[in-house]
Homo-oligomer: A and B are copies of this chain.
Amino acid sequence: MITVAYDGTDYHGWQFQEGVPTIEGALSARLLDLTGEECSLTGASRTDAGVHALGNVAVFDTESRIPAEKFPGALNARLPGEIRVLKGQEVDADFHPRHCHSVKTYEYRILNSRSEDPLRSRYVHWYYGALDTERMREAAAVLIGEHDFTSFCSVHAQSETRVRTICSLDVLTEAAGEEGKEIVLRITGNGFLYNMVRIIAGTLIDVGRGQTAAGAMEGILLGKDRALAGPTAPAKGLTLKKIAFPDGLRPDRPEREQD
């Protein structure tokens, strides 16, 4: 199992597609160089085009004698700088990163400032107008817990059930330059439907700018209708921060060796 960080700007998402750059495609090609095997990768999160990750994970089988902890260095030497393998570890042969009780943390970043910022723009959604973070917090609180998230799910999603649990959904602010701020939506849950975080972000932006009342969030959730929620916010603002696995298997970040 490898833990992978990437800048998704120039990639057509995680999943392999013939003829276009994808994260899975880049990793598979480098694994072939390294091991001589066509390793089939299974990613924990098949992130969309333009979405970033600091701690996605993927598993693969290999006959290679290279120790698991040597894979990051060997792969990074061959990968473009936008993709970094942070950790390699052996896992049980039957471990499947999507069929287990993991908890994922995503962040959606909104740059709320008068001017765009070229040093942030790959990783944030720029929104010029005023956003009321108190109203956004009030609306966000409605979504915490186990719910049917059909309203916050792309109509193209293929999941059998739309019930998921959001463990936390925080609306944080950070200073950004001299005149702006970043609003960070930090969301933790046991699984997310297709486009779910981006639709939640788009709906919370509508609440923040006064287009939707905070008190309307409950009706949007209970209505189980995608048309009730706000737009899908742009992919560039979304980053998969980490995936925490049960049973002490925590491949989210490397252990610290020093400092």
Between-chain CB contacts (< 8 Å), 21 pairs = A5-B116, A5-B117, A5-B119, A7-B121, A52-B118, A52-B119, A54-B119, A72-B115, A76-B116, A81-B118, A81-B121, A82-B118, A83-B118, A84-B115, A84-B117, A86-B115, A112-B259, A114-B257, A115-B254, A119-B123, A178-B253
Additional A-B contact list (18), CB under 8 Å, known A52-B118, A119-B239: A5-B118, A6-B118, A7-B118, A7-B121, A52-B119, A54-B119, A76-B116, A81-B118, A82-B118, A82-B121, A84-B116, A86-B115, A112-B259, A114-B254, A114-B256, A115-B254, A130-B259, A179-B253
Residues of B within 8 A of A246 (CB): none
Chain B residue, CB-CB nearest to A259: B130
A259–B132 alpha-carbon span in the complex (Å): 10
CB of A121, distance to nearest CB on chain B (Å): 6
Residues of B within 8 A of A115 (CB): 5, 72, 84, 86, 253-254
A258 at the interface (CB under 8 A from B): yes
CB of A80, distance to nearest CB on chain B (Å): 9
Task: Mark A76-93 against chain B: 1 for CB-CB distance below 8 A, else 0.
Answer: 100001111010000000
CB of A69, distance to nearest CB on chain B (Å): 13
Chain B residue, CB-CB nearest to A87: B115
A19 at the interface (CB under 8 A from B): no
CB <8 Å contact, B179 and A81:
no
Chain B residue, CB-CB nearest to A81: B121
A177–B258 alpha-carbon span in the complex (Å): 15
List A40-54 residues whose CB lies under 8 Å from chain B. Answer: 52, 54
Which among A7, A82, A114 has the highest number of chain B CB atoms within 10 Å? Answer: A114
CB <8 Å contact, B258 and A130:
yes
Which of B116, B239, B242, B254 contacts A81, CB < 8 Å? B116
A60–B256 alpha-carbon span in the complex (Å): 52
Residues of B within 8 A of A52 (CB): 118-119
CB of A176, distance to nearest CB on chain B (Å): 11
